[in-house]
Amino acid sequence: MNARWKLASRDFTHREPAVSPADALRVPEAVRILVLVMVLVTVPFATPHLGAGSRGIAVAVALGISVVGWIIWISFGRSYRATVAALAVMGAAGGALAGISPLSPAIAVGCVVTSAAGARLSIEASLAITAETVAAFLIAGLATGAPAEALVGFPAAFIGLWAFGLSRHAYLLRAEQAEQTLEQSRRAREAETQAAALAERARIAREIHDVLAHSLAAVSVNLQAAEGLLSELPDQGPELAKAIECVARAGAFTREGLAEARQAILALRDNAAPESPMTLADRLRALAEEYRADGDTAVEFTVTGEPRPVAAEAGLTVYRTVQEALTNARKHAPGQPVSLTLEFTPAAVTAGVVNPLPPEGAARPLARAGAGYGLTGLRERAALGGGTLTAERADGYWRVCLTIPA
């Protein structure tokens, strides 16, 4: 009984329904109200007249009970018990009303009751209400001498509309099964997509490990060997000391890149970014200090707002953006001061890197280094995280600004 009621009460909507669920619910309610108004308006003017003699009084009583049951049904139609009680009252009163006043539209009450019972209630409950409606009509019709054609036709109408309600219930059942099948298909597609994404992440992790990590490890070993050989040369002049310093710095960069490659592999393998004991502000401060120590460029780092932990993906996006912007500043504006800002707002984190543009004709030996896709990749990464990245000239400065929800 409850399963049937849930099925009849359920809204069968699609992804983009032509009619909204609210409109679909309002249509049958409007029809019920319209039929109720029609019965209230027409039955009192039919024969026998309302309140005229014993039959008129019976018409008034049956009409009043039908209206009360109808109002209860409209008001509490989402409750199964209230619907059963209301339809049972309406069936008895409506059947009797049709038998007492067979020449009026009173049959509409019984028709609505039997069709609704077949579509919304269990088979047992709907059959009982339909039988009650037919019995009430036959008792009242035989007692008042209703025409023979009415005694035969009205019960046939009630039973036919009950069968129509059962057909509608079967349609709803098929619709529910189709909807469940579509939902299962959608979940299966999502599972397949997720599995494919995990497989691709694993493949990328293997490629990074086999190519980048091994290459960086080999470079690090060779740099350490070169540093050792240079340190053993007899002529330790200033040029050689500078070369040893550059080799040592390159080795440090290589080891740092190797550590980051391992973190990237861990993130791809575990489907989650690795946790870092350092906060985002601490990581950017350390990055600014490394940038400052590698050359003679001044870097000013400022944090505004209330620092807080951010999601791993968002933090990694900010870190990579600042890292790329500082590298571009060194390549395209060597020697120019750099301003690095990190702003925390309630809904987002904003990172900005600003440096003056170099004078015309200034030497830029590293300007052609790289493939030129750094900012493009950062824009794509920012878009995946729901953020925005801008990189533009403005008032003699080059500005890179990233805003990402965090």
Residue ranges of domains in the chain: 2-188, 276-406
What is the 3-class SS of 248-283, one letter each residue? HHHHHHHHHHHHHHHHHHHHHHHCCCCCCCCCHHHH
Burial of 211 (0-12, 13-18, 19+ CB in 10 A): exposed
The CA distance from 60 to 306, in Å, is: 74
The predicted pLDDT at position 381 comes to: 85
Along the 406 residues of the chain, how does pLDDT read in single tens digits? 455 555 444 443 344 444 444 454 566 667 777 877 888 778 877 777 777 788 888 888 988 898 888 888 888 878 888 889 999 999 999 899 888 888 788 888 888 899 888 888 888 999 999 999 999 999 998 988 888 888 999 999 999 989 988 888 888 888 888 888 999 999 999 888 888 887 887 777 777 766 676 677 677 777 777 877 777 777 777 777 778 778 777 777 777 777 777 766 766 665 544 445 578 899 899 888 888 776 657 889 999 999 998 887 888 889 889 988 888 888 788 878 899 999 999 999 999 999 998 877 665 555 455 455 677 888 888 888 899 999 988 888 999 999 999 8
Only one residue has tokens 């080999």, namely 218
Q: Give the CA diameter of the chain.
A: 134
Model confidence, pTM:
0.45
Q: Are 350 and 314 contacting, i.e. CB atoms less than 8 angstroms apart?
A: no
Backbone angles phi, psi at 291, to 5 degrees: -65, -40
What is the third-level CATH fold of 276-406? Heat Shock Protein 90 (3.30.565)
